[in-house]
Amino acid sequence: MSAKRQDNRLLQLCDRVCAVTADENEVAELERLMTADPAAREIFLNWSALHADLLSVTSAARSRAQATFRIDDESPTPQQPAIKGGRGKRGWTTWIMLSLAASIVLFVGVAINQQHEDEQVAAAPADRDGRSLPPIDGMAIVNRLDGVVWSQGARPAAVGDLLRSSHPIEIDAGVAEIEFGQGAVVLLEGPARFVAKSTSLGLLDSGKLAAVVPPWAEGFQIDTPSLGVIDRGTQFIVEVTLDRDVNVGVAKGAVELVDQSGGDTGQAVESTPRQLATGAAVRAADSEISDVAFDSDWRVLTSQLPARPDHSEVEVVARYRRDFVPSKSDQPRRDGAWRYYANQWMPVDDNEGYVELKWDTERGLYDPSGNRSRLAGSRLGAANLSYRGGHPGQGRDQTKDDLDHYVIAAYQVDSPGHYRLESGWLVRAESRDDIANQAVDLRVRVNQQRDRIHETCNRDGLLRFQGDLGSLHEGDWIYVAVGPRGISYNDRFEWDFAIVREIESPERL
């Protein structure tokens, strides 16, 4: 069959199925075409959407027309032909075809959603440092703007804006406070140009900044034209002068320096980074790095940084991405303190109804079956968890059990103490217009207790979450769950969060 004739046949089948005039063989033929060709699925989806819109318009017009008639339950109206003997031949045929068409719509929705997800989902990292996969673009938030004067031609930002690498901060004066997804906070002092490259990487082209990095964001990096500055402590300062010299000072903690003068930004050329401790400073000029005195004026900027705990106050016991490791094919993860679940039979607040997800080697994620199965029952559907994030199961409007089906990352506490969830962020990973973006639901709880955190992330939104988890004992479980709100199409998300335990001070001990 020629391509033109095949396209015409596809459109004919779309029309007949949507009009409920196709027979079972034509329905099966359309399903085969959609299975073999993603473009055919897109065509049918658009066709059915148009058909539904037209049907809605004509139904509304019919309803207005019916208002002029007297409705009599015992006598058919002109718009209600009498059907004797139950549904009748025509009624049963229509009902069957509508069911078949609905099945195809469900198939198409799941298939397109899954295909889009498979194109974007990342496999688990080869190592545990979180840098073996391409970083997520941008992911920083503008927290505060004090006296900011935007540079000519710059794209302004407002407090609360989500920054991507395509949106540099370019200011002539004032101070901008920017918080990265992993929890580091940067104060940028104008004149300056700065780019948020990922959740844990920023690029300072010019100007001065101070950064405070809590323990759960250790490894946060600032790149400059000649140096990379990697946090190993709490507070540091970086300045790029008009002459393109780079000054670095450590106010508290420690940093590592990597020479980038011989390569592109982000590509270190020294195998052993240089260490700087509290009170130390260097200048990089003309490919030379020399020690200099710590500039006391830098403390004016560091004094404006928000308070964050250091390693003497909290211990990072777990982090979703850092700890994510694969399992054996078709098996749940059995080693370590993390487990990955979905609620199949019971509400998400009843962990007796959880089922453990299995490792899918081909896709590099945990899903209900571990073998690329698309429909693990009508409840879980596309549910999965990967290194980057995941996708919830079906929503209450898609199943007969009236439940929203969540994916759940669970961590088991190994020692008693006071715990907190820190630097949690969740971002919607899809923004397609052909399928409506729905809100996703995030819930955090301990054991069978009520939710400690319950938030919603809306269309194209970013959700930041953190909170106190209380005093926990060895063996307690912390559950972080993401679910749909009624319907799960277009609900892929990316996220990370840290679980920390407070360190008792000597005075309290």
pLDDT in tens, 210-241: 999 999 998 999 999 999 999 998 899 999 99
- φ and ψ at 255, to 5 degrees? -140, 160
Residue 211, pLDDT score? 97
Condensed to tens digits (0 to 9), the pLDDT of residues 64-101 reads 343 333 323 333 333 333 333 333 444 444 444 545 55
CA–CA distance, 79 with 168 (Å, rounded to integer): 61
382/156: higher pLDDT = 156
54: Cα separation from own chain's centroid: 35
What is the CATH topology of the domain spanning 140-310? Jelly Rolls (2.60.120)
Q: Alpha-carbon distance 437 to 113, whole Å? A: 11
Give the tens place of pLDDT for each residue, 387-433: 999 999 988 888 888 899 999 999 999 999 999 999 999 988 665 55
Q: Is the separation of the CB atoms in 41 and 13 below 8 Å?
A: no
Return d(Cα 186, Cα 140) in angstroms, integer: 10
H or E segment and range at residue 62: helix 38-66
Percentage of the chain exceeding pLDDT 90: 48
Residue 220 burial (CB < 10 Å; 0-12/13-18/19+)?
A: buried
What is the rounded CA–CA span in Å between residue 392 and residue 26?
33
What is the average pLDDT value for the chain, to the nearest integer?
79
Cβ 45 vs Cβ 433: under 8 Å: no
Strand, coil or helix: 172: strand
For residue range 151-191, what is the model confidence (pLDDT) as tens digits?
999 999 999 888 888 899 999 999 999 999 889 999 999 99
Q: Which amino acid is at 491?
A: D
- At 308, list the tokens: 């964050």
Sequence ranges of the domains in the chain: 3-120, 140-310, 317-502
140-310 and 317-502: identical CATH topology: yes
pLDDT at site 119: 40
- Residue-wise pLDDT for 9-40, tens only, equals 777 887 777 766 777 677 777 777 776 776 67
pLDDT the model gives residue 14: 77
pLDDT in tens, 450-469: 999 999 987 667 788 999 99
Query: What is the rounded average pLDDT of the residues 296-317?
Result: 93
Higher pLDDT pick, 25 / 500? 500
CATH 2.60.120 corresponds to the domain 317-502: yes
Total count of residues recorded for the chain: 509
pLDDT for residue 433? 52
> Considering only 75-79, 492-496, 497-501, which range has the smallest mean pLDDT?
75-79
For position 282, what pLDDT does the model report?
95
pLDDT greater than 70 at residue 7:
no
For residue 377, pLDDT beyond 70: no
Instruction: Return all residues near 474 (Cβ < 8 A) that are at least 6 apart.
Output: 413, 414, 415, 416
Q: 4: pLDDT confidence band, cut at 50, 70 and 90?
A: low
What is the model's pLDDT at position 20?
64
